[in-house]
Amino acid sequence: MRPNEASSRWRLLRWFISSATFSVPQAAGPIAFSLVALSLTGDASGGAAIILAMTLAQVAGAVPVARIGRSLPAATFLKLLVGIRTAALVLIAVLAAGGASLIWLILAAAAGGLVNGAAHGFLRAVLNQLTTASHLPRALGIAATLNELTFVLAPVAASGLGTVSPAFAVLALAALGATPMLLVPRTRSTPTDGTLHAGGAVLTPAILLWLMCAAAGGATVAAIEIGAVALALRFGYEPALAFLFTVPLCLASVAGGIWVSLRNRLATRKVVVLQLSIMTLGAALAALELSVAATILGAALVGSVLAPLGTHYSLVLDVLAPPQRRAEVFALLRTANSVGVIFASAVLTVVSLSVTLIAVAGLMAVATLAVGIASNGRRVRPCQGQARAGAPSCEPASAPDACLAKEPVGPRCEAEGRLAKQARTGGSRRR
């Protein structure tokens, strides 16, 4: 193996570890914060208030914070944001150990959440500088698989550490979540295409379409995971058996991530519509509550396409986003998912689980229909080589994907051509 190739793989491995550990606070937070609230107030519901404050702050701060770091190296600004989040989590642990009022913990959580969405956007932007376009599907598939493993293992670890000390559990997740500060590789200081100060909208119809799909998917997964206990009770099981519905979802999601990694191809629009339809069917099966087996099958169907769709959204937005504003768009993708979670949580507090599942199934159906209509309602104008910055929108005639097929995507013809070629050939097979 050549030294440069070995160095590139090591840098990519560091990014994978950073990506997996970055999600630890979000994955372990619900249990860790609930245990903290229980120790302070005798009521675990205070943990939900902490998570809600963190999530709402993430939604509010994603784009504004990302804009602040637009002219800075992505890795440098990412480390700064992760440092702020880590400081907020450490503050929560200190306040919990000192028996502070719950309101102070909520405020500290909001401070950490404020930078979380933007940090995710910059973490994803760093990946573009560590791998080629032809290997992005595989890299994102591996990241999605590791992310699902994090969401399986982190809550278990938080439960175990919380029995020792709730404050220590929060401190531990803060330490793991700080890993990107140490491992994220350095990236070039400025863009090399001369587009640093170029304009470009981040809320175009094409981008909004995929953000809507991400929100619908986030709402579907959240409805099943949050309503798992209610589902267990509905079928006459003990609340502890809620894992009957969440574990199949997570295992199917891990399998989906592995499939994306091995396939390493950009999905065609028809495949994406099929995957959205599978998620809609899974949500509908869960909503109908026909039997335990049917509901478990529904959860598994939702999980099976979670990683492929998430990878697809990231690849699409990578091309649709103005080059100098990719971090903002990736932050919006994370925000869209959070909005879906908030939507599902809010509906669950107002109506029954059955109605909530029907609502998210309907939302998925609307998203699927929108993508299907968009794929048939636009005409393609092929790219003629690489367009200069500011040139009219164009795209490769054979491009198979949302941003690469039948949607105006701006001046990034060269990147589109690479991705289109990769989609047809399956990308480089060189290891």
> How many domains does the chain fold into?
2
Residue 251 lies in a domain: yes
Residue 379 lies in a domain: yes
The reply to whether 88 and 235 lie within a common domain is no
pLDDT digits (tens, 9 = 90+) for 378-421: 543 333 333 333 333 333 333 334 334 333 333 344 444 444 44
Residue 188 lies in a domain: no
297: closest CA among 255, 250, 225, 248?
Answer: 248
Instruction: Determine contact, residues 19/143, Cβ cutoff 8 Å.
Output: yes
pLDDT digits (tens, 9 = 90+) for 91-144: 999 999 998 899 999 999 999 999 999 999 999 989 988 888 888 888 888 988
Structure tokens at 307: 């990683």
Statement: residue 27 has pLDDT above 90: no
The reply to whether 178 and 250 lie within a common domain is no
Band (431; pLDDT cuts 50, 70, 90): very low
The reply to whether 246 and 122 lie within a common domain is no
pLDDT digits (tens, 9 = 90+) for 199-254: 567 788 889 999 999 999 999 998 888 788 788 888 888 876 777 888 888 889 88
Predicted local confidence at residue 2, as pLDDT: 59
Q: How many residues does the chain have?
A: 431
187: closest CA among 99, 43, 74, 275?
Answer: 74
The reply to whether 171 and 236 lie within a common domain is no
Residue 382 lies in a domain: yes
Q: From residue 325, how far is each of 68, 125, 226, 395, 408 by CA, in Å?
A: 11, 9, 33, 20, 17
CA distance 256 to 321: 26
CATH number at residue 139: 1.20.1250.20
Residue 191 lies in a domain: no
Q: Indicate the average pLDDT of the chain.
A: 80
Residue 411 lies in a domain: yes
CA distance 132 to 135: 5
Quote the radius of gyration of the chain (alpha carbons, Å): 21
Which domain range does residue 213 map to? 199-431
Predicted local confidence at residue 377, as pLDDT: 52
Band (278; pLDDT cuts 50, 70, 90): very high
In the block, residue with structure tokens 């399986």: 152
Band (182; pLDDT cuts 50, 70, 90): very high
pLDDT digits (tens, 9 = 90+) for 307-328: 899 989 988 898 888 877 888 8
Instruction: Determine contact, residues 195/326, Cβ cutoff 8 Å.
Output: no
CA distance 275 to 250: 17
